[in-house]
Structure 1
């Protein structure tokens, strides 16, 4: 039950680039690698353990065998043996499509899936890089449909310039897109359900337009302008700084200049660490792993104490 590392699941994307390899050292073989799935139990894309005696076992196999020990009893009570979190690093060389995600109810009815609430932590951004998050004013459904017909949707959207450290919470229904030149860490519910509504009329390598989900999106969109997406959080050194706390995950920011010990006896949840800068060694009573920028570990829920040894690291800590 030592801290687990996993083989990255690399995804070619029309909008992807080369930073996942150049910056993080991911074993990419394509010049359009857009995503590295670090922790996943999405069907067809289940993470495989890379370290220790459990190497080559899948995360799902381990959870099925040791649910309480890996997830924590309270997590099992809520989700059974389904791992509720999907962890990614994303490199957007080009703009992503304009999209949104359905809530739990719609996702369950239509796709037998969780909804997709997510958050982004900006790890790097080219000068002037932007995100699209929400509308720039309240919009009616009729107005939105008209904008699709006359190709003016972009005029209704809210643009946010970003720099390293900026953090955004994207609740279900919020229209959004990652802009060109952004490298980020993404934490989300376990779901691969996306409604794409506009893709800049781009064509794939075979000359085809990508599928849009216009009709599915109509009753999933939140048409109100809401200023609820930019996360204001403390960056105090050597403290646990809460970033996001929602029903699906809790994320803390650890800006460490020295080692830290955490008592996790009563946490009753697995703990994920994403290293977004520097290096650290993550240790529990069963073993340890070394993390550098762009790497992730899962510490099993049975852990009673976590020691983070570092001279300098910025970590995102995710629990349920």
Structure 2
């Protein structure tokens, strides 16, 4: 089956969110009539939201179909042994017109016990940020369970949260158990484990069109916190052109920054699929089977069976992801 695989694109799954805006439509050219486009799920194997191929001979087939039929040729032998017919990553673009809820995610153990799901370790790459925009990550002081609960109950949670001014290119690694929120005016690319489990602890007293507040999950969240985490969430990375610059490497994914200004010969020796997320410009990815263009706001899956390929661009910035 190796010969039938090629660089694969998927139809974005767009999500209307109470806090969403129009940047995904206006800046990333996502087609939608939704009033508040909060998220574009680029590659998803979440139950009920499975991605569908949008290009080439496999157009119209689901990611689930690809996994069942191509197995390790799609995702690599070690990944197939570990995950079977389950794709391990969820790739998104997120536009926050308003602040997202203050939230955190459970680890693998809690998520499996409570939700039959993976945990949700994730990272953000800031694609655009309005002047003065913030990301909320962690606390602004040493924190204990008791102090946190006191502020939660007295509705002074924002007093102990860490607000980070953010600009394009800023990158954050959000481990499970860390409180966080994307602030108003920020658009990010998000790479995460395949999970849709979020524990909301505060939602700015926001109500929907019917006057209803969104559900909070404080009883579940309190056991998911890791109050002993270091403030190591800001990612420093080099930006050397025409080579992979590692940003984040964890058990769930490795992501590198790749700025392309010429033709690069690439070799996939990771025994894994590779994902390319275009965050600026436009590039061309060429294999023996096919050539595919990728422009800002697009995501492409390179099957593990394709070991050699070329990436060409006059000027493009890509995120390169594998497991």
Question: Shorter-chain TM-score: what band?
Answer: over 0.9
The correspondence for 2:320, drawn from 293, 311, 317, is 317
Aligned residue in 1 for 2:150: 146
Q: Per-residue CA shift, 1:146-186, capped at 9, x if unaligned?
A: 21111000001011101100000000000000000001100
CA distance in 2, matches of 1:64, 1:295: 25
Aligned residue in 2 for 1:127: 131
Give 1:225 deviation, angstroms: 5.5
CA distance in 1, matches of 2:12, 2:261: 28
- Residue 298 (structure 1) aligned with residue 301 (structure 2): yes
CA distance in 1, matches of 2:115, 2:285: 37
SS in 2 for 1:76: helix
CA RMSD of aligned residues (A): 0.8
- Residue 289 (structure 1) aligned with residue 283 (structure 2): no
**8 Å contact from structure 1 (residues 135, 156) kept in 2:** yes
The correspondence for 1:273, drawn from 276, 280, 290, is 276
**8 Å contact from structure 1 (residues 137, 224) kept in 2:** no
How many positions carry a matched residue from both structures?
319
**How do residues 155-174 of structure 1 correspond to structure 2 at under 5 angstroms?**
155-174=159-178
Higher mean alpha-carbon deviation, 96-105 vs 266-275, is at: 266-275
* Unaligned ranges ≥5, structure 2: none
Deviant stretches of 4+, over 3 Å: none
CA distance in 2, matches of 1:68, 1:37: 23
**8 Å contact from structure 1 (residues 6, 51) kept in 2:** yes
The correspondence for 1:209, drawn from 213, 230, 234, is 213
Give 1:224 deviation, angstroms: 3.0
* Unaligned ranges ≥5, structure 1: none
Higher mean alpha-carbon deviation, 281-290 vs 6-15, is at: 281-290
- Residue 100 (structure 1) aligned with residue 100 (structure 2): no
**8 Å contact from structure 1 (residues 138, 225) kept in 2:** no
Aligned residue in 2 for 1:219: 223
Give 1:31 deviation, angstroms: 2.2
Q: Per-residue CA shift, 1:260-294, capped at 9, x if unaligned?
A: 11112x32110000000000011222212111100
Aligned residue in 2 for 1:23: 27
**8 Å contact from structure 1 (residues 277, 293) kept in 2:** yes
**8 Å contact from structure 2 (residues 178, 229) kept in 1:** no
Give 1:40 deviation, angstroms: 0.2
**8 Å contact from structure 1 (residues 137, 225) kept in 2:** no
SS in 2 for 1:177: strand
Aligned residue in 2 for 1:308: 311
Aligned residue in 2 for 1:61: 65
Give 1:143 deviation, angstroms: 1.6
**8 Å contact from structure 1 (residues 97, 200) kept in 2:** yes
The correspondence for 1:259, drawn from 260, 263, 266, is 263
CA distance in 2, matches of 1:75, 1:172: 21
The correspondence for 1:199, drawn from 198, 203, 206, is 203
CA distance in 1, matches of 2:37, 2:60: 23
Give 1:139 deviation, angstroms: 1.6
Q: Per-residue CA shift, 1:83-132, capped at 9, x if unaligned?
A: 00000000000000000000000000000000000000000000110000
